[in-house]
Amino acid sequence: MEIESIKDDTKNKKLVFILKGSRVAFANALRRLVIEEVPTMAIEDVEFRKNTSALYDEMIALRLGLIPLKTDLKSYNLPEDCQCKGKGCAQCQLKLILKAKGPKIVYASEIKSKDPKVKPIFQKTPIVKLLKGQVLEAEMTAILGKGKEHAKWSPGLVYYKYYPSIKITKKGEACSGCADVCPQKVFDKKSGKISINEKHLLDCNLCGACEELSKGEITINKEVEDFVFFVESWGQLECKEIMLKASDILEKKLDVFEKELKAKKK
C-alpha cells in the first residue's frame, strides 16, 4: 500500500491523496471511521441565566451546539474513557460563557472559553439578533464526542473514487468533440487533436461521455486497487490529523478484534 499526496490546502482545509494498492473495504473503513469515530469538541449542555431574545432557549442551544470548536485531542478525553467515568472533570469537559446585550447581532466571537486552545472556528457565525434592552447570558459545557452519536461531532467530509485510467487511440485523438462533452475538462484540444490534461485527470468522474462519442476510440477504466481520497475538514482538526487519528482508531479496533478471535479459539 502506498500514499501519494496530491493537494494539501491548509488554508481551505482540504486534502487530496491517492491510496494505492488497497481494497474497497479498507478505503470505506477509513471513510466511515473519519465520519463516525474521530472525536471532536462540541457544546453539549447549555444553562441559560437570562434570555429575553425572540428565540426560545432550545433554538439558541441548537445553534450553539452546531458551532464548530477548535479541538485539542491531547488535552481532553472522551467521557467514557475519562478517569471520572463521565461524571465531569477538567479532563473531559470545558466551560464556555456567553454574555451579550442588545441592540446587536450576537456572533460566535463573543463566546469566551476557559481554554484558549478550544474556541469557535468561524468567529462571524451569527447566533441571535438582540433588540434594545434584550439580554442573553448562558454557560455552556463542551465535551468530546463522535459523529455516530450526533453530526455536530463529525470532523469533516471524506469521500473517495476509483483512480481513472484513460486511453486514446490514434483515431480517437481526432475526436475534438470529446473535449467539448467532457464535463470535467479532462482533455486539451490543440491543432484538431485531443490529449489528456494531467492536471485535470483526477477530476474525471468516469461518466463515459467521451467513450460514447468516440465510439470506443477512447476508453476509461477504473483502477480497482487505487483510490483518490478527498478530505474536507470543518476546522476542528487539520485534515492530516483527522486521517492519522482514523488510522489509530482502526489499528485499535483490529487489536480488539484479534484478541476476541483468540479468545473464541480457546
104-107 and 40-51 as β-strands: parallel, antiparallel, unpaired? Answer: unpaired
Average pLDDT in the 7-16 region? 92
Q: Which residue has better confidence, 265 or 44?
A: 44
Could you tell me the CATH number of the domain that includes residue 205?
A: 3.30.1360.10
Q: Give the pLDDT band (50/70/90) at residue 50.
A: very high
Domain region containing 10: 2-36+156-231
The Cα–Cα gap between 155 and 37 comes to 9
In the chain, the number of structural domains is 2
Query: What pLDDT does residue 246 have?
Result: 96
Q: Which three cell numbers stand for residue 257?
A: 478484534
Question: Does residue 79 share a domain with residue 141?
Answer: yes
Q: Give the pLDDT band (50/70/90) at residue 167.
A: very high
Question: Are residues 41 and 118 in contact, defined by beta-carbon separation less than 8 angstroms?
Answer: yes
Whether residue 256 lies inside any domain: the answer is no
Query: What pLDDT does residue 262 have?
Result: 86
pTM of the model: 0.88
The Cα–Cα gap between 152 and 121 comes to 13
Query: What pLDDT does residue 265 have?
Result: 74
Whether residue 242 lies inside any domain: the answer is no
Q: Which residue, of 150, 181, 208, is where some domain finishes?
A: 150
Query: What pLDDT does residue 191 have?
Result: 85
Task: Tell me the pLDDT tens digit for each residue of 215-253.
Answer: 989 999 988 999 999 999 999 999 999 999 999 999 999
- Mean residue pLDDT of the chain comes to 94
Query: Quick one: how many helices (H) and strands (E) in the chain?
Result: 5, 12
Q: CA 227, 229, 231 angle in degrees (round to 5)? A: 170
- For 97, other C-beta atoms within 10 Å of its C-beta total 14
Q: Which residue, of 111, 132, 150, is where some domain finishes?
A: 150
Return the half-sphere exposure (C-beta side, CA atoms, 13 A cut-off) of residue 173: 7
Question: Does residue 73 share a domain with residue 23?
Answer: no
